[in-house]
Each structure stands twice: as C-alpha cells, then as structure tokens.
Structure 1
Amino acid sequence: MPENDLSLLIDAAKASGDIALKFFNQDPESWEKSNNAGPVTEADLAVDAYLKSTLLKARPDYGWLSEETEDTADRLACSRVFVVDPIDGTRAFIAGRESWAHSLAVVEHGQPIAAAVYLPARKMLFHAYLGSGAFLNGQQLAPPDPKDPKAIRILAAKPTFQPKNWVNDTPPEFEMHFRNSLAYRMALAAEGAFDAMMTLRKTWEWDIAAGVLLAREAGLNVTTRTGGSLVFNNANPMVDGVVAALPKLHTQIIEQLAPA
C-alpha cells in the first residue's frame, strides 16, 4: 500500500536529515561532477548510501533511481521504483543556505504514489500519498487561487523568462522568485507560498518525482512544459520541463509559452 511506503520514506528522510546536518556548515568536501552535471559533496554520497541500503533492504523487489548512484536498466523491469535525490539543492547546501532538501518518492507504473520532501535545516517535512492529500508538518495543504492576476508570484530560474520562450516574445509580468531545489519549489507551490513553479529545461526525474505528487495532491495541475503528461521511470530519466499551478493559472501559463 502507498501508505506503508510513505511511512518508510518519512522515516528515511528524517534519518537522512540527521546525516546531512553533520556536514552542513562544516566545509564538507565537494567537487564538480563530469559533463557539467553540477557539484556533489561527501554529504550527498553519505545520504545516498544510507538511503539505498535502507530502502532496498525494506523493499528488495523495488527498483532504484538516484542522482548519486550509477543508473542501470534493472529498474525498468520493476513495477515500483524508488526515485531519490539525496540532497536536492547541493549548491545551496555548500553555500550554507537552508533551502536544500531530501526528495524521496515511490513510483508505480510510471506515476508517483508516495512522496516525502524534507528540509532538515528548516524542519519542514512535506509528504503525500496518492489520493490522500499533501501535508506540511501534519497540516493539509490547500493553496488558494491567486487573488490578484497582476501579482502572480512564480518560482523559476531567470532564463525561463527570456522572450524567446513566450508567444510573441512577450513574457508575462509575473513576480519571479528562485530556490535552488526543484523539489522545494514544487513543495512551496503546493503549500500556496507561491502561485506556480516552472522549469523549461529537460529535468531529471529525481528532482521532481516527489514534488509532482505533492503538487497534484494539493490540487495543482502538473504537466510538461507543453501541457503533456509526466511519466517516470523512463529509460532516459528526464522529462520535458515542468509547469505546476492551480488549473486556471496553469492553463494561462501553457497558452502563453512558445512552442518548444
């Protein structure tokens, strides 16, 4: 049952936080990954090793997909797969900012069914399971529709609002904000702290699998940048961008985006 998987994810996320906090603001060893894949630290690897050992011991028949584990095709034959980012927002972690997260999901037949996004430095635990709502520290999330269409607050990176990405080279006049962690951006949209989140770049599944379920269970529409369905556990574990917002705003954003 998803609920049983959720309890497993929550416990693992909390334990991951204990591990990561031992390295946080302690000048952990870090280096750049190959192919311009970004930074990694000894904390990322320690959390990854813990999660892989703990989660697969509990569910040996599940597949495994993690940013910090070499991928194999074995997971493609599994009906359920752990999709994990040990530390989402590693740049923030290195810089001593608190907006990094552990992002854990169970995906079944291509769709997330259980999710935990935990920010240990902020003591924020987001969780969701399919059909049962999304929660922050035990309080159910119910984001309101934006009150002022001229004051939409959206989480996105600056390149998102380059004119070429929008119909008639005209970006909408949204108030733009940024967080390093994609999982945290999706959680904040699910919470209603911001009206939407989006990224137009090809996006790794481990960055968003947990956040997608959070947003969906909070009532948001979540699609690719073209409005298509998101499917996980792909052979190449990437999706075509993400747009997450309540239905009316989601439609508005998709209609204003230029063709990919």
Structure 2
Amino acid sequence: MSDLDLLLDAARAAGKISMGYFQDNPEIWHKEGDQGPVTEADLAVDKMLHADLLAARDYAWLSEETEDNKDRLDAESVFIVDPIDGTRAFIEGAYHWSHSLAVATGGIVQAAVVYLPAADKLYAAERGKGATLNGETITVSAQNEINGATVLAAKPNLDPWFWKGAKAPPVTRAFRSSLAYRLSLVAEGRFDAMMTLRGTWEWDVAAGGLIVEEAGGDVSDRRARLVRYNNPTPMINGLVAGNAPVHHGLVARLL
C-alpha cells in the first residue's frame, strides 16, 4: 500500500469517527495560551490516527493534538496531522472543517489528503502525480492578474501595514474556517489564492500545500521562500498559495 492509499484509508476512518460527534454537542475544552478550542472528537480522531498510521509505518509523528516529541527531528519521514482543522466550524455545526493528513520526507511533503466528511469532499495528492477531488483531476484557476482575484483570507490579512504603500491589493476576499480547506479550494480552482500572514502551524497547511502544488499552483511562505516541514518549532512564516500570476502578485506586494 502506498503512503497516499494509507492516508486515504485513514482519512475515511477519521470521518466515521468525527461524524459520530458532529452536531451532537461534543464536549469542548479550551487550550492554554489562547490556542483555541478542542473537542472530544479531535482527541478521538487523533488517538485513532496515531495508532493506525504508526502501526503501518515506522515514521515520526507531528499532530496538533499530541504532545510534541523532538525525536521526530531525527526522522527522515514524518506524519503531519491535524485531526480536525476548523474546530470552531465543527463546534458551530458548519460543514467546512476537515481532516488534514500528510507525509513529509526530508522536509518536503510527498503525499497528502484533506477530507471534509460533512461535505463529502476528499482531496488527495501525491508528489509528481497530480491532485484530485473525489478521484477527479483538479487544477488551479486561470485568473491571470491580481486585480479582481478571489482570495481566501481572514480579514486582518488585508490590513494596510502588511502591504507596500500601506494599501492592500484590489482582491475580493472570502473566508473558510479550515486552512486545509482554503488550500484545497484554491487547488480546485474555485478561488484564485489563499493567504495567512501570521505564523502558521505546519499541521494546518502541510497537506493542502501539496494539493495546490500538484494542481499546478505555487506555494511559499510570505517572503516567497520554499516551505519546508518538520522544523524544530513546527511553524512557518505565513503561507501564500495560488495560481502563479496571483501568487506572485501577492508576495510581490507584501512588506
């Protein structure tokens, strides 16, 4: 079984667990340091993924809901997992939360799955082999300029102090709770780009980033640098992803 097939099976199994809690008043806790909520569904999915994936592969482990073990830094390959990305949407009963699963080798993601069980959307990619949605090939949009581009981003990302000339580009902003889903929507061509300009946890974007790349898009940190994963602090300097013209237009205007 390939790593991608392993992730696909694991994502579907995660969906069965999470849907058992969805819209059923799951127990909720709030993490220390204003790190957001976590539900019993997050923890149940994390426990299953940790057990099943590590039983199948001798890889290291990095997950939002598991205490970090720095032994992963000595590993060639690592699972990078967000059991439920978009937990607030999950709590609210909205559909746009996801399971985000990736395998990175040598710091570069090689296989990735983003699954939205409440929406029946399964995105997948393997490096060099393209990206799919529910088994059908997907590609980024054909928008060829930044003017009028549609960009998935939280509202503060368009604040003037992020941009040259203290002026955000003339884009149309939209929002989804899950960063993994935002990336997948860009890969699908439904939006031209996405960006998050604050420090970004690896588990939020590892899977979606490969899906965008394999759909023909460009992905970088906010300084236009290649993103590498399994860092000592598993956080990157923001993320910008989109088709090539819009991606380049955005990063060129960022301070």
TM-score normalised by length of structure 2: 0.98
User: Deviating runs (4+, > 2 A) in structure 1?
Assistant: 147-151
Distance 1:8 1:152 in 2: 36
Counterparts of residues 1-260 of structure 1 (less than 5 Å)? 4-59=2-57, 61-146=58-143, 149-258=146-255
| Residue ranges of structure 1 left out of the alignment (5+ in a row) | none
Percent identity among equivalent residues? 51
- Secondary structure of 1:68's counterpart equals coil
Bigger drift between 243-252 and 178-187 goes to: 243-252
Distance 2:144 2:186 in 1: 15
Distance 1:129 1:66 in 2: 20
Question: What does the per-residue CA deviation read over 1:174-215, in whole Å, with 9 as the maximum and x for residues that have no partner?
Answer: 110001100000000000000000000100000000001001
Distance 1:255 1:151 in 2: 16
Deviation at 1:255, TM superposition (A): 1.0
- Secondary structure of 1:56's counterpart equals helix
How many residues were matched structurally? Answer: 255
Distance 2:71 2:50 in 1: 15
Question: What does the per-residue CA deviation read over 1:33-69, in whole Å, with 9 as the maximum and x for residues that have no partner?
Answer: 001110000000000000000000001x200000000
| Residue ranges of structure 2 left out of the alignment (5+ in a row) | none
Distance 2:39 2:54 in 1: 23
Instruction: Give the partner amino acid of 2:125.
Output: A
Question: What does the per-residue CA deviation read over 1:136-173, in whole Å, with 9 as the maximum and x for residues that have no partner?
Answer: 00111122311675321100000000001110101112
Q: Is the 8 A contact 2:146 2:171 kept in 1?
A: no
Deviation at 1:249, TM superposition (A): 1.4
Distance 1:222 1:37 in 2: 25
Instruction: Give the partner amino acid of 2:67.
Output: E
Distance 1:13 1:144 in 2: 26
- Taking only aligned residues, the RMSD between alpha carbons, in angstroms, comes to 1.0
Bigger drift between 186-195 and 148-157 goes to: 148-157
Distance 1:202 1:149 in 2: 24
